[in-house]
Structure 1
Amino acid sequence: MSFAPVLASWLTSFLPGREAHFVVVPRLRLVYARVPKVANTAVRSLLADHVDRTAGPAPPPNKDSFWRGDGAVDGRIVSGAEVLGRYGDHLCFTIVRDPFDRLVSCWSDMIARPAAILPNLDRLGFRRGMEFGDFVERVARIPDRAADLHFRSQASIVSARGRVVPSLVGRMETIGTDWERVRAAVLERTGTDLGSLPQKNVRRRDRSDVQRLFADGRLVDRVRVRYADDFRLFYPGREAPEPAGEAGPTVA
């Protein structure tokens, strides 16, 4: 593969908006650090009920353009540095996912059997129907500064100025109980009950495939190295794939 596509993708990392991963909902004094493949669609769809909307057609809330003014009037999507500088009185939360399971989800939805492969993934050298092992090897060679968000490390998405920005970090594997923590915190701070997460983008309920796809220990090692910061910050001590917990209907 030519180096040019990777270089082009790397250059886009400096375009405005590249590091805007934090959805601000002023009415709730709430900030959500969105991570693709981790209930992102479900959370943003729910938060969209708490912003004023533009008149007429709008993109869905899981699209960044919705939060840049094409759908939300008072909501925003900003960088982690801006959150630290301007929204210190807001509660900031995120939801992370076991890197092994997140990578399998990315491959299953976007590589193994998609209707069409995303242009950015195509530019990075991925192809429709690519074997899982080849996919992992390709991911392992692409640094975060050039990576598509669907497989970029979670630590790089939710961090700024050398620290994790969200003060409340939930896990996909315990999303039921962790969402209740977010819900309770917002209720206490604002008197607003966010309610339960909706079911969005349910594609893969059975996660027994994670251990099967990572039967080759070399692939486990590749992921451990590629996502070292994710394991260190969010899953310390996890050396290999484990059976999924309660994560289920809100996968997105």
Structure 2
Amino acid sequence: MPSGGLFADTPAASDAGAAPASVQEVPHFHHHRQRLRQRFLAAGPDSVSDYEMLELVLFRAIPRRDVKPLAKQLLARFGDFNAVISAPPSRLAEVTGAGEAVICELKIVEAAAHRLARSRVLHRPVITSWGQLMDYCKTAMAHRETEQFRILFLDRKNVLIADEEQARGTVDHVPVYPREVVKRALELNASALILVHNHPSGDPTPSQADIDMTRQIERAAKAVGLVIHDHVVVGKQADASFRSLGLL
């Protein structure tokens, strides 16, 4: 065949050292993923930054793309790792690249964190696990964008027997009905309650509405022999105890 034939100018024919067409180049982020996983396993979670922790989560959702830019976008939008995994799906979807698979992975991590924290306090005396109880409340509520009111139900030995969300509200208000609180406590055969709600603003200082609502619940509870141990307001960085503030 003449030297100027059909295949003479193709890379496979003209470049003697070229790799076979079937061999694909390893993506530049492949080794980064391996190194990051190895560092995480060898040195623990404190060895990785927030965006690297997000990368580890996103690897499963996006197996064939560099996820570092998306991790940094999510942090820029929401602030930190906790805020990212706690963000509502509708807001996560506003970030370019955060599709259904990404949102699902983030919500799985959030649910796992809540379940783990809850398992450490459920069916245990609150007196000996108060720190873990507050950690659980912060994990579940501190980064929510709307108010949530939860009730922790205790038995006669102050063992946590149930933890339930009573109501959801807006960014600065949540409707709570004392009669419903008492009714549920009686259904569970509870002897005492701890009330918990969050302030999306981040400031845990109780409002006058919080104080009035707590007193209404306290009066309804006393009428049937229930004790209100505390009402805790959870903020993003701190919490406030009605008992410590002399409001109960």
Q: Which has the higher contact order (CA 8 A, sep 6+)?
A: 1
**TM bracket, shorter-chain basis:** under 0.3
Q: What is the TM-score of this pair, normalised by structure 2? A: 0.26
Structure (1 or 2) with the larger CA radius of gyration: 2
Q: What is the TM-score of this pair, normalised by structure 1? A: 0.26
